[in-house]
Chain A
């Protein structure tokens, strides 16, 4: 391999791509190629590491005592920890005869010294490692939604005049340039003259329009650097209660940023959709507004926004659609005496694309339940028309089971706890995730409080409730290999469901009144039920699954299958690590809820 090819190969491997050209060529010049037979030991507690190994061909296993933890194959490198700490508790053994590059310890440590990002990658723990890899994916795409720069937004041409210039002349120049304001060069710096300033001085106070403009200019001028974030511009508008900012670059004025443009920039995203929903005067208009969500998701995903945030935003928007539709369809007298709730993933605010409706109606005791039936039927049908597919399990307000009085729910909850079968457990699970979107929300809180009282009274129930966590095998094998069917893996069964349901079980047990998984994990960590490292790992693993699924869904439609062929090396690595975290979590739950004692 010529030096050039070698550099190209090394550069294609993360985190070596973080190295500068100089650092990279220094590193490759120091590398040797080595060959090892099967079963050769490269590093062990008694054999200190003297190289960083980068695999060209073959496989190496990382063992802790006799347990195989990880398999390294082409393009993987190991083991930075052993080099940094000068010892290793792990053993690295050749599984398949190996050809690898060796970078000596001194050169490796020198690289770490000279490159902060490179160093950071190696000294972070697993959760951080996943995070930094994702961060990188994000930054390679456009900078995040809020991270757009001022210069990316539309900036108006400025009109700049001397302070001696007459007001009329300045206005003419402003007209010619179609500027929105006049920047005046004063002795102490720049000042600004806007329409409202002219209105005040010339029209109201009778200031001579041929007099010099300097005297009426406002000073100081609020400015922002072109390289600053739009987000900061937004803050500046609010803080100073102004409508325009002067954009500076290298100490020079390059334009004017109008509040209106900034808003419309954000409006292209979610803001506009929310306004549209609010303003919708007919069901048709509401349908049109809800049809735009997919574009928002796509945009946010491309810009690297965390899936968790996208889901929250979309859930807020979905909730607004539900709320609006509820008030449009139901007569006021009925609407205020009931509560529309969304459940399951929608309730947890984890819904992204429009998937099955999971909703229910709680009606105040004493109201005529039958009066609601036709409206609820219409509500379900309209939602289907909007593109929210009907729920397969028929968990919808059009189903009498999910449209009943508060008292009837109370009785049902008691029955769920009494002699639960699998269906009851799942009903309880989705109801526990419920989130009120319209009507009288206090009824839902009261019912949830009842659930928590039942949990306290019946401690053995929790094991039954948590049991489904183990329903699906984690698709990762003994050799830390991914187990796929036709190269596809169901990430919902394999990863998302065990985390979501496990966390839900813990939340139910602990009486945590938060309905989204991320919020629950954070609360559980706060309560000390989950160690903070582990909760961080769970959050990252969940985000990994959701991210890969969303990517697949955006590219190839619905479903929970992720095709391994579409993943790059890093994504495969993250997926493996995430499933390992799932397995660890299952172990934890088995122990916590004593699942091995029920079956």
Chain B
């Protein structure tokens, strides 16, 4: 009920007019699917290491306009997280300063809706950099893949417990899993799930 109001309030709070494009009209059938790799799971203290994103127009995943970059962490990357995402300190030598990276990302997404798997976390991570700087939170509409999947699955098994693990969803949707897990690759696979989910009534 208050959604549009809060959106306007948010827009009003923007403190840098160069980013007004975040509130402009977008091509109707376009979304951006994205994923991040981070040093940990706590948005308060962990940092983003890389962002991967692709645009989807209709049923086409625009790989030719993909987005991938690395962010310079403010503190040394710990051993535990290196083991998970396999981004070592040395891999970040050509990484960008967070502000520069986020600026590029914003220009890539514009006002398009964002799609992702457990998107809330990724958006929270972006907001961690974004909010203090531009005084607003990321205004883009958000589409949660596991939510889309759940809603279509529940039509077939109304009382069932639905397995929402990433690989399980990929498998259930009959999509090929390829390559290693990194931000861009996961974004690409998420994009496939999104396109597929747009095209099925129920699962």
Which residues of A come within 8 Å of B, CB atoms? 1-2, 5-6, 9, 29-37, 56-57, 97, 99, 102
Q: Which residues of A contact B175 (CB under 8 A)?
A: 57, 99
Q: How far is the CB of A100 from chain B (nearest CB, A)?
A: 10
A35 and B195 contact, CB distance less than 8 A: yes
- Which residue of A has the minimal Cβ distance to B66? A3
- Name the one of B174, B182, B184, B188 contacting A33, with C-beta atoms under 8 angstroms: B188
B64 and A30 contact, CB distance less than 8 A: yes
B199 and A31 contact, CB distance less than 8 A: no
B62 and A35 contact, CB distance less than 8 A: no
B185 and A2 contact, CB distance less than 8 A: yes
Given A2-B184, A33-B191, A99-B192, are A57 and B64 also a contact pair (CB < 8 Å)?
Answer: no
Given A5-B178, A36-B59, are A29 and B192 also a contact pair (CB < 8 Å)?
Answer: no
B59 and A35 contact, CB distance less than 8 A: yes
Q: Which residues of A contact B180 (CB under 8 A)?
A: 2
Q: List 19 A-B contacts (CB under 8 A).
A: A1-B188, A2-B180, A2-B182, A2-B184, A5-B178, A31-B63, A32-B60, A32-B64, A33-B188, A33-B191, A33-B192, A34-B61, A35-B61, A35-B195, A35-B199, A56-B176, A97-B199, A99-B175, A99-B176
Tell me whether B171 is interfacial, beta carbon within 8 Å: no
Q: How far is the CA of A37 from the CA of B201 in the complex (A)?
A: 12
Given A29-B64, A33-B188, A35-B192, are A1 and B59 also a contact pair (CB < 8 Å)?
Answer: no
Q: Which residues of B contact A2 (CB under 8 A)?
A: 179-180, 182, 184-185
Q: Which residues of B contact A30 (CB under 8 A)?
A: 64
Q: How far is the CA of A34 from the CA of B59 in the complex (A)?
A: 6
Tell me whether B155 is interfacial, beta carbon within 8 Å: no
A34 and B179 contact, CB distance less than 8 A: no
Q: How far is the CA of A99 from the CA of B184 in the complex (A)?
A: 18
B60 and A34 contact, CB distance less than 8 A: yes
Q: How far is the CA of A56 from the CA of B59 in the complex (A)?
A: 15
- Name the one of A9, A33, A35, A36 contacting B63, with C-beta atoms under 8 angstroms: A33
List residues of B (100-126) whose CB comes within 8 Å of A's CBs: none
B176 and A33 contact, CB distance less than 8 A: no
Q: Which residues of B contact A56 (CB under 8 A)?
A: 176
List residues of B (169-203) whose CB comes within 8 Å of A's CBs: 174-176, 178-180, 182, 184-185, 188, 191-192, 195-196, 199
Q: How far is the CB of A434 from chain B (nearest CB, A)?
A: 57
- Which residue of A has the minimal Cβ distance to B180? A2
- Which residue of B has the minimal Cβ distance to A107? B64
Q: How far is the CA of A97 from the CA of B174 in the complex (A)?
A: 10
- Which residue of B has the minimal Cβ distance to A33? B61
Q: How far is the CA of A2 from the CA of B59 in the complex (A)?
A: 20
B60 and A102 contact, CB distance less than 8 A: yes
Q: How far is the CA of A6 from the CA of B191 in the complex (A)?
A: 16
A32 and B59 contact, CB distance less than 8 A: no
Q: Which residues of B contact A37 (CB under 8 A)?
A: 199
- Name the one of B61, B179, B182, B184 contacting A32, with C-beta atoms under 8 angstroms: B61
- Which residue of B has the minimal Cβ distance to A38? B199
Q: How far is the CA of A5 from the CA of B189 in the complex (A)?
A: 13
Q: Which residues of A contact B188 (CB under 8 A)?
A: 1, 33
- Which residue of A has the minimal Cβ distance to B63? A32
Please give 16 more A-B residue pairs, beta carbons under 8 A apart, in addition to A2-B182, A57-B174.
A2-B184, A5-B178, A9-B178, A31-B63, A32-B62, A33-B191, A33-B192, A34-B60, A35-B59, A35-B61, A35-B195, A56-B176, A57-B175, A99-B175, A99-B176, A99-B192
